Amino acid sequence: MALNGQQPGSEMWWQNIQRQGAPAVELLACNRCAVTFYWRDPAGSEQTSDIHRVWLYVTGVTDHHQRAQPVSLIRVPGTDVWRWQTELPSNWRGSYCFIPSSQTDDFSDAALSATPDMAALREGWRKLLAHAQADSLNPHSWRGGRGHPTSALHLPHAPAQPGWEHEHVATSPPLCVTWQSTRLNNCRRIWIFTTGEAAPAQRPLAILLDGQFWAESMPVWPALQAQTNAGALPPAVYVLIDVIDREHRAEELPCNDDFWLAVYDELLPLVRTHVAWCEEANRTVVAGQSFGGLAALYAALNWPQRFGCALSQSASCWWPNRAGGDTPGRLEELVSSGRAGREPVSIFIEAGIREPLIFGAHQRLVPLLQRTQQQLFWRQVEGGHDALCWRGGLIDGLTALWAEGSAPPATYIRQE
């Protein structure tokens, strides 16, 4: 525990931890890393602090997708140091946060049992995440999809994420407009972003779901512009759709005909009054994550003449059977029965190997898509249900789906 002979918890010790970088990462043999998380108790040692636990929420490792007991950092006795160490593959990438607590009943007995109840785990984490903290020793943080602070960890061999290193590239400001939908009887924000004006009518179109996240929490504009400037992406039009709130998201995104009819009949004509793009379906991408990934697949498989490409990440293909285990989800039923996916479209689909329910649903759905789709990119990611992974896949998916003259075989499988 001593660092360069310094006493754990001393001011010099903490300065060295911050200087060397936190979490601490040590590359081991066999493409593994030892990762040590640290949290400093502002109230001092156990003699002066009432902190009972420092819960550690690491996406894909200790989060609510894992059937495992919640993890807390452990205090180094007599100090303000809390720490926890684990081993991870050297190509892992993910986000994490700390949740200090002075309570002794944050989780129910069902969540703390030897085989934790998944619903009890989700409920416990749901309440705790409202009090989450980013890692003060790590400068790379943002607000996650649930609105809580979170920090980033990229292990040494994590795949590159082109474009995201250019945080300050010059971009034209996105146009934010209001969409008042008659069909859906609601109102929301829409962001319209373009990355080139040379040939407006030739630009492909990308519709990004959970638009408020990509516009505000993790702004996507610099990455899109940087990759366009580099020639990896064509000049394009991007339309980002706000979900309004969690209730509307849960209602509109999973397999909802009305939502997609409203997008096509109401939203796109509104956008057309501001910008021009190529109207061909095979140049139109719908991109989404989680419920949004399911929605992207649903749109392309049901309206291929309108939405010819789907970019699906960590899609909730289990829906509506969260507790169903191997029970087919609605989309799987539609594809297997031939009621969806009758015409070929282009699909980029990825899921994290550390999101068990979602990954299992993909292992059933992908073989069905392989038999029905003309062009399928299927990627298994070393990570969890995590925007830190999705941001790289979003750029990779757009690049693959819009590639000119370099179509891969019917199925392209890549393990990261």
Question: What DSSP assignment string belongs to 148-207?
Answer: -EEEEEE-TTPPP-TTTT-TT---PPPEEEEEEETTTTEEEEEEEEES--SSGGG--EEE
Judged against a pLDDT cut of 90, whether residue 372 lies above it is answered with: no
At 146 the pLDDT is: 74
Whole-number mean pLDDT of the chain?
94
Residue 190 has pLDDT above 90, yes or no: yes
The residue that leads in pLDDT, 75 or 373, is 75
Cβ proximity of 239 and 177 under 8 Å: no
What is the CA 250 to chain-centroid distance, rounded?
A: 16
pLDDT confidence tier of residue 414, bands split at 50, 70 and 90: low
Structure tokens at 226: 């940087």
Domain 11-154 has CATH 2.60.40.10: yes
Taking the C-alpha atoms of residue 25 and residue 34, their distance in angstroms, rounded to an integer, is 6
Q: 175-415, superfamily in CATH?
A: Alpha/Beta hydrolase fold, catalytic domain (3.40.50.1820)
- Mean pLDDT confidence for 162-191: 96
For range 374-379, the mean pLDDT: 91
Helices (H), 278-375: 291-302, 330-336, 356-372
What's the whole-model pTM score? 0.94
Nearest alpha-carbon partner for 247 in 175, 184, 327, 306? 184
What's the pLDDT tens digit per position in 251-273?
999 999 999 999 999 999 999 99
Percentage with pLDDT > 90 across the chain: 89
The residue extents of the domains of the chain are 11-154, 175-415
* pLDDT tens-digit series, residues 194-249: 999 989 999 999 999 999 999 999 999 999 999 999 999 999 999 999 999 999 99
Residues 106-138: pLDDT tens digits? Answer: 999 999 999 999 999 999 999 999 999 999 999
Q: Identify the weakest region by mean pLDDT among 303-312, 324-333, 393-402, 405-414.
A: 405-414
Q: How far apart are CA 124 and CA 130, in angstroms?
A: 11
Q: Is residue 413 scored above 60 in pLDDT?
A: no
With CA atoms as reference, report the closest residue to 91 among 142, 156, 153, 26: 156
How much helix, strand and coil, in percent to the nearest 5, is found in the chain? 30, 25, 45
Six token digits for residue 37: 């998380």
pLDDT at 304 over 70: yes
Question: Which one-letter DSSP state was computed for residue 133?
Answer: B
How many angstroms from the chain centroid is the CA of residue 348?
Answer: 15
Average pLDDT for 366-394 = 94
Confidence of residue 416 (pLDDT cuts 50, 70, 90): low
Question: Has residue 318 got a pLDDT over 80?
Answer: yes
Q: Is 326 exposed, middle or buried (0-12, 13-18, 19+ CB in 10 A)?
A: exposed
Check residue 90 and give its pLDDT.
98
As a whole number of angstroms, the distance between CA 253 and CA 12 comes to: 51
Q: How confident is the model at residue 404, as a pLDDT?
A: 75
